[in-house]
Amino acid sequence: MLLNWLSRLLLAAFAALILAPLAIVVITAFKTRPEFYADPLSLPASWTFHNFAALFDGQPMWAYFRNSVVVTVFSVAAELLIAGCVAYAIMRSGKRMAGALFALFAAGLMVPSHVNMIPLYSLLQKLGWSNSLTALVLVTVSVLLPLSVFMLSGFMKTLPRELLEAGEIDGAGHWTTLVRIVFPLCAPFLAATAAFLFVIVWNDLLFPMLLINGKDKLTLPLALLRFRGEYITDYPLLLTGVVVTAAPMVVLFVFLQRYFISGALAGSLKG
């Protein structure tokens, strides 16, 4: 009985620990600066969108938002297609070739991005590709290949062989098999992988920081990082930036929870 109450208390306490900081941030975003300095913990006297207006006036927020959407959507789509094809090749190759391909990509799982950020940076400088969103997409796709190939080929292995062979007897080529049979069968898993990759790419700071410097090309996390320099004394405005950049992801999460959670589950088992 006592243990039951204690564990309920623990659950509630942790829920409060997650919610309280987020609530304080949202509340602060609705306060004026003088209000905030007078009492950092109070509720705003009136809920105004003053900070939101100031943020959108002072920053090309829509451009940041568009950059993030473009980079994330293109990266995730390309990632699923390219890694999906590699995983398919691994599934259909002979034992040796499949083993070699798989080992080559899986080895990359051990190399954190921070290990090769320096040579990657100089390679892109040499190619004259600095400050390009296309380069950012290509690099992002390449760096996530080990994880995605691992996740997708792990799943494709569970597909029933007979189904693929049945298609072949009917004269279906590899493309037809991939598009008509493998991808549809993988659909829920592709969605979970996409959700997992979406979070990683949308929130990434390192590669945008290495590759992007023009103000018109910033993605949301990078722009947010730069707000600190500009709004150093203005917590309400800075936290409005946090709310605005986090909101789209939170909304997506609320609606697509299932995929986020199953993606994270599969991703952590493999990653």
Partner 1 sequence: MKKWMKLMPFWAPGLLLYALFFIYPTLTGFYYSFTDWDGLSPSYRYIGFDNYAAVSQDIVFHKSLVNNLKFMAAILLSQTVISLLLALRLTRQSKAIVALRALYFLPTVLSSVSVGFIWTFIYDPTLGSLNALLERVGLSTWAQNWLGDSAIAIFSVAAVQAWAHIGQMVILFVAGLQSIPKELLESARLDGAGRFSLFFRITWPLLAPAAAIVVSYTTIQSFKAFDLVFTMTGGGPAYSTEILSTYIYGSAFLSYTFGKAATASVFFLALISIITFLQFRLLRTDRISY
Least distance CB 47 / partner 1 (angstroms): 19
Q: Between residues 94 and 160, which has the closer beta carbon with respect to partner 1? A: 94
Least distance CB 244 / partner 1 (angstroms): 10
Report whether 76 contacts 197 (CB < 8 A): yes
Q: Between residues 18 and 45, which has the closer beta carbon with respect to partner 1? A: 18
> Closest Cα to residue 168, out of 182, 155, 154, 157?
182
Q: Between residues 76 and 220, which has the closer beta carbon with respect to partner 1? A: 220
Tokens 């945008």 map to which residue? 208
Q: Between residues 194 and 238, which has the closer beta carbon with respect to partner 1? A: 238
Distance between CA 173 and CA 265 in Å, rounded?
Answer: 33
Least distance CB 180 / partner 1 (angstroms): 15
Distance between CA 252 and CA 16 in Å, rounded?
Answer: 22
* CB neighbourhood size of 78 (10 A): 16
Q: Between residues 56 and 168, which has the closer beta carbon with respect to partner 1? A: 168
Least distance CB 22 / partner 1 (angstroms): 7
Least distance CB 31 / partner 1 (angstroms): 12
Distance between CA 232 and CA 218 in Å, rounded?
Answer: 19
Least distance CB 60 / partner 1 (angstroms): 18
